Amino acid sequence: MLKSGKPLRLRRLSLAGDDRHLLIPLDHSVSDGPVTPPGQWEELLKALVAGGADGIIVHKGRARTLAPDVLKTCALVVHLSASTACSADVDAKVLVGDVEEAVALGADAVSVHVNIGSDTEGRQLADLGAVARSCDIWGMPLIAMVYPRGPRIENPHDPALLSHIVNVAADLGADMVKTSVALPLDRMAEVVAHSPIPVLAAGGPPDGSDLIEYGTAVMAAGCRGLAVGRRIFSAPSPAALVSRLAAVVHGADGITSDMSMTTPTHYSTIVAGVA
């Protein structure tokens, strides 16, 4: 018998049941501003689900607006950290929600952002540890978004640094870690080898090159999934791009998407930032 709901929720984070994950962060509306033109939010959500996304990541207020039927085949991750591009220190993340609120919203997981090398690293680490404790109590999976960002970071793509970062996430209680990629990409295998927990590659290729090739390379390096936001929701057809990435993550036969639900959309009003 299950002693915790965490295994059930972790299973819902992988549509194909293969413990691989394609997550779409949509928390940019707090950090940078709207992710779609007016009136196109629900259309974007339907496109992501139709394409085969395993889960979306939103803040608690946005989660309250979701229609129950929208996420029938897609997990809900509630993001607990925030900062804005207007802040004096954009690397200073603070907690704006808690695990209990995520449970009440029906979330399948929560996520917390930590910037290693930032001026407020200590507080962010303390927040991650506190959230991990609550996650254990409530049986809630925890995705740690841990990045090398701040005045003390010389090379954010250094494999040794990233190997350290994934261990920080694991040691403080995360179930998965989303982080930057090593360069060259094949050195991401070193990071994965050092990680006690599944590693999700963040964003897209740093040089803006082909996203499918990027996804193929990081999955070949041993990553257990992708967490891509901006490159997807700014695409001319998010559903088509998600479908291609789902095939990369799960294998060509791993996901069957209902593309009949898809209406191609061009999201032209996108603010700058990191996925």
Q: Would you name the residues annotated as active-site residues? A: 27, 147, 178
Dihedral sign computed on CA atoms, order 102, 80, 60, 263 = negative
Q: What are phi and psi of 233, to 5 degrees?
A: -75, -10
CA distances from 53 to 40, 133, 141, 162, 181 (A): 18, 28, 18, 26, 21
* CA triple 12-261-49, angle to 5 deg: 25
Contact 245, 231 (CB under 8 A): no
Q: What is the DSSP code (8-state) at residue 256?
A: -
The CA distance from 137 to 150, in Å, is: 32
The CA distance from 202 to 188, in Å, is: 12
Number of residues written out for the chain: 275
Q: What are phi and psi of 135, to 5 degrees?
A: -60, -40
Is 244 buried (19+), middle (13-18) or exposed (0-12) by CB count in 10 A? middle
The CA distance from 234 to 251, in Å, is: 24
Residue 275 corresponds to which tokens in the numbers above?
């996925």
Residue 228 corresponds to which tokens in the numbers above?
């891509």
Residue in the structure block whose two tokens are 């049986």: 139
